[in-house]
């Protein structure tokens, strides 16, 4: 059985809507299973500065519907050094923390692996709007971010249509096109550009605009993932090459905020509870994941060695329905 008495919880890397719901689930499930819980503020920084406090059932009241993370999040350079990792593990021991639950992305899970080598038991929970954790079909925050992007692009469509313009919209996704391709389908974009696929401005953008223009189309929506190109530059090029009045819009960090959707709250609860059940069963150094709508878990090292392809079916759908 488990030798763990106290669990620490932290959020790390970019924030995502639903991180609060995940913290709440971890805290409540831990206490339900007889563990003590400590909150660690500002990601791995909090382990180095000992920004650590006792949590109880009421510490996580009134957060289920809030975006952001009540524990704050950060990127921590010092923790990427062997000295930083040794100090963090030492501070865990000093504060009585036997196991850590880390809610974050790939980078944060690499941090888990590092601290696990110093004997601290770890569980990772995927929280990022990018949906780019290879071992999981879904990451907490993705659904909310998609809906935020969709709502904003719907508004943009109104004015694009009124002025008979072309709009180029840049959505988040430094390395992944999940937000771009899904919002592209949901908002009826003519072209979606993603980092996973090479593209050519003349063949993939200008030619598509001209073809549809010849058929009578008057307004055009192009979606680009930030890792595939810059909206303002693409807009300029379109205007130059087609003469179309074109605007570029960068949606930016607004996509990371807002009240989490139903899906993000429920998945956060499922993943948080699963993380604690693993620790209760004496299983650790795992990443919680979703596969085919079921909550599963993988060894951290294995999870980090996996590769995830952008679903070619989605890319195909985006192309067909934009015809
Ligand atoms: P995300 O978790 O969203 O991918 P980052 O890549 O910024 O975000 O990682 C978050 C934090 O995790 C980093 O600031 C750092 O403290 C820690 N981290 C990232 N990569 C490593 C690594 N290779 N070894 C140890 N810690 C890491
Ligand atoms: O959360 C992931 C992400 O949104 C990426 O798509 C984006 O590149 C990155 O975070 C930007 O984060 P920051 O501005 O916090 O560095």
For 102, phi then psi, to 5°, come to -115, 120
> With 80 as the cut, is the pLDDT of residue 244 above it?
yes
The DSSP call for residue 259 is P
Of the chain, the percentage scoring pLDDT greater than 90 comes to 96
Residue 319 has what pLDDT? 87
Mean pLDDT of 92-110: 97
Q: What are φ and ψ of residue 42, in 5° steps? A: 65, 45
Three state DSSP letters for 92-158: HHHCCCCEEEEEECHHHHHHHHHHHCCCCEEEEEEECCCCCCCCCCCCECHHHHHHHHHHHHHHHHH
Confidence at residue 323, expressed as pLDDT on a 0 to 100 scale:
75
| Residue to probe by mutation, ligand 2, list 43, 130, 132, 141, most atoms within 8 Å of CB | 130
pTM attached to this predicted model: 0.97
Dump strand ranges (E) for 229-279: 246-250
For 133-156, what is the mean pLDDT? Answer: 98
Q: What is the pLDDT of residue 297?
A: 98
Report the distance separating Cα 86 and Cα 229, nearest Å.
Answer: 39
Band of residue 125 on the pLDDT scale cut at 50, 70, 90: very high
Overall average pLDDT of the 64-90 stretch: 97
List residues near ligand 1 (CB under 6 A): 12-14, 44, 75-76, 79-80, 104-108, 110-111, 114, 128
Residues 45-60 have a mean pLDDT of 98
Q: 23 and 11 in contact (C-beta within 8 Å)? A: yes
Distance 47 CA to ligand 2 centre (A): 23
pLDDT value of residue 2: 56
Length of the chain: 323
Checking if the pLDDT of 271 tops 90, the result is yes
**In order of start, what are the domains of the chain with their CATH numbers?**
6-141+260-305 (3.40.50.450), 144-256 (3.40.50.460)
Beta bridge partners of 294: 291
Place of tokens 């009540």: 70
Q: What secondary structure letter does DSSP report for 206?
A: I
> Whole-angstrom Cα distance, residue 245 to residue 219?
10
130 part of the active site:
yes
Catalytic residue among 15, 98, 130, 143: 130
């Amino acid at each position: 059985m488990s030798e763990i008495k106290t669990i620490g919880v932290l959020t790390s890397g970019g924030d995502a809507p639903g991180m609060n719901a995940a913290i709440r689930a971890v805290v409540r499930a831990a206490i339900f299973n007889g563990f003590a819980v400590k909150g660690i503020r500002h990601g791995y920084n909090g382990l180095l500065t000992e920004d650590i406090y006792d949590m109880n059932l009421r510490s996580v009241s009134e957060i289920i519907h809030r975006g952001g993370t009540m524990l704050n999040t950060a990127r921590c350079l010092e923790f990427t050094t062997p000295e930083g990792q040794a100090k963090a593990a030492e501070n865990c021991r000093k504060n009585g923390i036997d196991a850590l639950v880390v809610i974050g992305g790939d980078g944060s899970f690499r941090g888990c692996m590092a601290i696990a080598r110093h004997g601290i038991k770890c569980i990772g929970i995927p929280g990022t709007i990018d949906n780019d954790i290879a071992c999981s079909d879904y990451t907490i925050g993705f659904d909310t971010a998609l809906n935020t992007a969709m709502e904003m692009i719907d508004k943009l469509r109104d004015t694009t249509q009124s002025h008979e313009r072309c709009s180029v919209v840049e959505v988040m996704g430094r390395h992944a096109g999940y937000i771009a391709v899904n919002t592209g389908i949901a908002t009826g974009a003519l072209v979606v550009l993603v980092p996973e696929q090479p593209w050519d401005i003349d063949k993939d953008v200008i030619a598509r605009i001209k073809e549809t223009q010849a058929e009578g189309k008057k307004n055009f929506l192009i979606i680009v993932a930030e890792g595939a190109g810059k909206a303002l530059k693409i807009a300029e090029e379109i205007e130059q090459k087609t003469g179309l009045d074109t605007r570029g819009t960068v949606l930016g960090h607004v996509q990371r905020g807002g009240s989490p959707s139903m899906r993000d709250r429920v998945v956060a609860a499922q993943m948080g509870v699963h993380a604690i059940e693993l620790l209760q069963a004496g299983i650790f150094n795992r990443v919680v994941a979703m596969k085919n709508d079921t909550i599963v878990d993988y060894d951290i090292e294995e999870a980090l060695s996996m590769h995830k392809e952008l679903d070619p079916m989605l890319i195909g759908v985006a192309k067909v329905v934009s015809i």
